[in-house]
């Protein structure tokens, strides 16, 4: 996703609209306070859109909630303390600790939380549309920056004959060697779906990948009651829930949750630090910091431990090339250098 540049006037307009919205929400809250609220209880945000969060209780009842002003921005997957204000409505009064957070810049360049408390991110690949290895590396860097494990899924296995599969296997084998599990699936033949279910069990996961690789098809195959969930949300909000714009958390039948955030196909590397970049390259990690110069770019500098390792075959040359390109891109990016 490219960063949209806004004129000063557009930015002011957006700010004004947001203030007005906050004021309206504040007035609603004042009215609720006068009416009295139920006891504080724990809940999970399973959908989030604009000023409204859908909070689910432990016994899986859903409430349409507004949040108190001082909580900052909330995200799908957030644990919250909330109080009922009606049969289907409530007020979020506190935000629980986040063990991980995926954020992206909004139109105004502010970091906007997209999904909280992720345990894993699944990168979906397919023979069609094709991907570059650099793209996979970018995904893995972004995932390492969130601090969660990544998993590679090669979908549309049904489209591959033995020779084509061997080529992709060879391309993806280095990732398996550095610790990223690789699953082969087909949402059409259901091949590998049991393995994928097992990989997603008892954790909160997010699927990412280029448009057309089959993410929605996989989610549908994994979630038989997806439509029921969407209908329940529509009934609660009094309007159609647009899965193209609303992030949603689904419970997997075998345990574990899947967060579907339609906006996340790729990641912005602009938010990523050099440390994050290094974390995304566990194959380079043993050598980084061993170069003669502490600011070594691992290009032409003498005494470069990374280049020596690559020359001895300990680092795949392609991965080193990708690391160099990403490092150069980070240094060129105005924001991401922290
Ligand atoms: N042959 C084949 N086609 C698939 C498979 N999974 C998805 N597709 C097709 O790929 C296209 C894109 O799928 P979709 O789930 O919308 O991809 P998304 O953009 O990643 O959500 C659709 O035409 C699907 O029918 C698969 O396992 N095998
Ligand atoms: Mg889709
Ligand atoms: Zn070096």
Place of tokens 């995304």: 280
Q: Taking Cα atoms as reference points, which of 110, 27, 119 lies closest to residue 72?
A: 110
Distance CA 242, CA 247 (A): 9
For domain 8-97, is the CATH number 3.30.365.10? Answer: no
The pLDDT tens digits for 4-59 are 566 788 888 878 888 888 888 777 776 666 668 899 999 999 998 778 899 999 99
| Cα 105 to averaged position of ligand 3 atoms, centre (Å) | 32
- Specify the higher pLDDT residue, 332 or 213: 213
What's the CA-to-centroid distance between 212 and ligand 2, angstroms? 7
Q: Which ligand is nearest to the CA of 293?
A: 3
* Residue 175 · residue 132 · CB < 8 Å: no
CATH code for the domain defined by 271-332: 1.10.40.50
Where are the chain's structural domains?
Answer: 8-97, 114-260, 271-332
Cβ pair 321, 286 in contact under 8 A: no
Query: Quick check: CB of 155 below 6 Å from ligand 1?
Result: yes
Helices and strands in the chain, H and E counts: 9, 13
- Residue pair 244/262 in contact (Cβ under 8 Å)? The answer is yes
Q: 188 CB less than 6 Å from ligand 1?
A: yes
Domain 114-260, CATH: 3.40.50.300
Mutational pocket test of ligand 1: of 135, 191, 212, 215, the residue with most ligand atoms within 8 Å of the beta carbon = 212
Nearest alpha carbon, ligand 1 atom 24: 214
* Separation CA 35–CA 18 (nearest Å): 26
Q: Determine if the peptide bond prior to 129 is cis (ω within 30°).
A: yes
pTM equals: 0.83
With a pLDDT cut of 70, the percent of the chain lying above it is 91
Tokens of 189: 């033949």
């Amino acid at each position: 996703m490219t960063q949209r540049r806004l004129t000063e006037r557009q930015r002011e307009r957006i700010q004004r609209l947001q203030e007005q919205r906050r004021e309206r929400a504040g007035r609603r809250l004042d009215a609720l306070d006068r009416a009295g609220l139920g006891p504080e209880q724990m809940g999970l945000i399973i959908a989030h859109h604009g000023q409204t969060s859908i909070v689910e209780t432990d016994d899986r009842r859903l409430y349409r909630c507004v949040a108190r002003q001082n909580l900052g921005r909330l995200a799908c997957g957030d644990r919250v303390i909330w109080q009922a204000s009606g049969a289907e409505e409530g007020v979020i009064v506190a935000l629980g600790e986040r063990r991980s957070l995926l954020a992206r810049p909004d139109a105004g360049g502010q970091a906007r939380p997209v999904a909280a408390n992720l345990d894993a991110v699944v990168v979906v690949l397919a023979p069609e549309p094709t991907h570059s290895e650099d793209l996979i590396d970018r995904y893995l860097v972004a995932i390492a920056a969130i601090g969660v494990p990544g998993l590679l899924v090669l979908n549309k296995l049904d489209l591959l004959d033995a020779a084509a599969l061997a080529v992709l296997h060879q391309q993806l084998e280095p990732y398996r060697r550095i610790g990223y599990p690789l699953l082969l699936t087909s949402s059409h033949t259901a091949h590998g779906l049991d393995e994928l279910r097992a990989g997603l069990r008892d954790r909160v996961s997010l699927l990412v990948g280029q448009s057309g690789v089959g993410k929605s098809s996989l989610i549908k195959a994994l979630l038989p009651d997806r439509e029921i969930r969407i209908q329940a949300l529509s009934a609660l909000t009094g309007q159609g829930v647009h899965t193209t714009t609303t992030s949603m958390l689904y419970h997997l039948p075998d345990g574990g949750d899947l967060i579907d955030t339609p906006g996340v196909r790729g990641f912005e590397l602009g938010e990523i630090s050099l440390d994050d970049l290094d974390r995304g390259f566990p194959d380079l990690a043993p050598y980084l910091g061993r170069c003669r110069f502490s600011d070594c770019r691992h290009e032409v500098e003498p005494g470069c431990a990374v280049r020596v390792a690559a020359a001895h075959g300990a680092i795949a040359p392609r991965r080193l090339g990708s690391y160099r390109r990403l490092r150069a891109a980070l240094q060129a990016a105005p924001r991401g250098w922290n």
